[in-house]
Amino acid sequence: MLIKILGGGCKNCQNLHKNTLEALETLGVEAEVVKVEEINDIMAYGVMKTPALVIDEEVKVMGRVPKAKEITKILKEYI
């Protein structure tokens, strides 16, 4: 599973990153988590409001920071 966090690096993006790692730990799942900060790459996903959570190239959440619990639920679909 490849997880991408899209965002310029502001507080919200950091929180999303943190919550995602927390969710992965809860599930005990290994995954590659990549930060995408380059604006061209972010726009390639069509995301206009950061931060965004992309799992296996699919935009799952954007413009808000879901809690670790919600991310856990989203991740379960991919296991």
Partner 1 sequence: MFNWLDYLAKLLVTQVFGLEMESKLGSSIHFFVYDTIKIVILLSIMIFVISYIRSYFPPEKTKRILAKFKGIKGNIMASLLGIVTPFCSCSSVPIFIGFVEAGVPLGLTFSFLITSPIVNEAAFIILLGLFGWKLAVVYVITGVIVGVLGGLIIGKMKMEKHVEEYVYKMDVAQIDPDELTINERISFSLQNVKDIVKRIWLFLIIGIGIGAAIHGWVPEDFLAQYAGENNPFAVILAVACGIPLYSNAMGTIPIAQALIGKGVGTGTALAFMMAVTALSAPELILLRKVIKPKLIVWFVIVTGIGILLTGYLFNFIGHLLM
Catalytic residues: 10, 13
Q: Which stretch binds partner 1 (CB under 8 A): 16-24, 28-36, 62-70, 71-79?
A: 62-70
50-70 burial, b for 16+ CB within 10 Å, e for fewer?
bbbbbbeeeebbbeebbebee
| 19 in contact with partner 1 (CB under 8 A) | no
| 36 in contact with partner 1 (CB under 8 A) | no
| 46 in contact with partner 1 (CB under 8 A) | yes
Name the nearest CA neighbour of 50 among 74, 2, 3, 14: 14
Type of residue numbered 11: K
Q: Work out which of 18, 64, 73, 76 binds partner 1, going by CB under 8 A.
A: 64
Q: Interface residues with partner 1 (CB under 8 A)?
A: 7-8, 10, 12, 39-40, 42-50, 59, 62-67, 70
